[in-house]
Structure 1
Amino acid sequence: MKIYTLHRKQNLPIDIDTAWDFLSNPNNLKTITPNYMGFHILTGADRPMYAGQIIQYIVTPVLGIKTKWVTEITHVVNKQYFVDEQRYGPYSLWHHKHFIKAISGGIEMEDIIDYKLPFGLLGQLVHPLLVKPKLEEIFNYRTKKLEELFGTF
């Protein structure tokens, strides 16, 4: 069983309250997701983030194939971190930790995603060709979009 990790850090010139208000609002996920992914929240984003929250999405990650994705917010510590885990979707495992902390002149945002692909060896073969580049592209887009929204550090 191969588990992959994507780790990203980004500094933004905003205060912790602004960062938390934006990043912990599931409705803002569409803003920082590439348009071609057809991201659409079906249910679960009608309240402020809380542990146990179930959010259902539709995404179109590759080849125009619509995929339902269900995540649960499993942990929330106000203005520090939250964790979302896939309950149903394209991965065998998806565990995404979002950390924010105040630093001189702004905040540091850190994402750590541990994930496993389905289909055993076939999933491992597809990872470097399709999955890893697609995740890198999505998180590069997020970095750029957050800089457009809040400025560069």
Structure 2
Amino acid sequence: MEEGVSITKHSGVYTLKAQQTIPLSMEKAWDFFKDPNNLSRITPPEMGFKITSSIDRMAYAGQIITYKIQVFPGIHVSWVTELTVVEAPHFFIDEQRFGPYAMWHHEHFFEDFGNETTLMHDKITYKMPLGILGDAVHELLVRKKLRAIFSFRRKIIDEILS
């Protein structure tokens, strides 16, 4: 897959895949992504992203992170994720424990691309709540919003890490 975002659906479950090259060694890229506080830096400002839990350590398996996000203008929701697997500096996985999706499983992979370059892969497997109504909202709003989030991330990661 070229750099970009693809979203597919099978048996009611969506899969988003994205990848991006980062002009840093894998270890330096990991140093940025292992800090949960950097998530707010790579999230579009209009989402009103705010971590509400105390972050006292870098990413570790079992870490619970709570935050608020704006899903629609004026509508904020709480989201709770758990880092279920952390294998520095190669990958980590976060899963929604409570939030706007019926299911959310996000895999982040880092691959040494040589010459101080890292290839970052994201794979998100998610399910919308509310059955066919949720799927309709996905087609009308969520798909576009997720693409916009990853487009923003691509741009801001290039700016911050270049």
Scaled by the length of structure 2, what TM-score is found? Answer: 0.90
Tell me the residue number matched to 1:95. 105
Tell me the residue number matched to 2:154. 143
Q: Percent identity?
A: 47
Tell me the residue number matched to 2:6. none
AA of the residue aligned to 1:108: L
Distance (Å, rounded) in 2 between the aligned partners of 1:46 and 1:124: 37
Deviation at 1:17, TM superposition (A): 1.5
Distance (Å, rounded) in 2 between the aligned partners of 1:24 and 1:82: 9
AA of the residue aligned to 1:72: E
Tell me the residue number matched to 2:4. none
Deviation at 1:55, TM superposition (A): 0.3
Tell me the residue number matched to 2:5. none
SS of residue in 1 equivalent to 2:72? coil
Tell me the residue number matched to 1:2. 12
Residue 42 of structure 1: which of 52, 55, 59 is its match?
Answer: 52
Deviation at 1:66, TM superposition (A): 1.0
Tell me, yes or no, if the aligned pair for 1:71 and 1:85 is still in contact at 8 Å: yes
Deviation at 1:31, TM superposition (A): 0.4
Matching of residues 1-153 of structure 1 within 5 Å: 2-105=12-115, 106-151=117-162
AA of the residue aligned to 1:59: I
CA deviations 1:52-94 (Å, max 9, x no partner) are: 1100001112122111000000001010000000000000000
Deviation at 1:112, TM superposition (A): 0.1
Gaps of 5+ in 2: 1-10
Deviation at 1:150, TM superposition (A): 1.9
AA of the residue aligned to 2:60: Y
Distance (Å, rounded) in 1 between the aligned partners of 2:85 and 2:142: 26
Higher strand share: 2
Deviation at 1:45, TM superposition (A): 2.1
Tell me, yes or no, if the aligned pair for 1:92 and 1:117 is still in contact at 8 Å: yes
Find runs of 4+ consecutive structure 1 residues off by over 6 angstroms.
none
SS of residue in 1 equivalent to 2:133? helix
Deviation at 1:16, TM superposition (A): 1.2
AA of the residue aligned to 2:147: E
Gaps of 5+ in 1: none
AA of the residue aligned to 1:142: R
Scaled by the length of structure 1, what TM-score is found? Answer: 0.95
Tell me, yes or no, if the aligned pair for 1:96 and 1:111 is still in contact at 8 Å: yes
Tell me, yes or no, if the aligned pair for 1:16 and 1:100 is still in contact at 8 Å: yes
Tell me the residue number matched to 2:7. none
SS of residue in 1 equivalent to 2:111? strand
Tell me, yes or no, if the aligned pair for 1:44 and 1:53 is still in contact at 8 Å: no
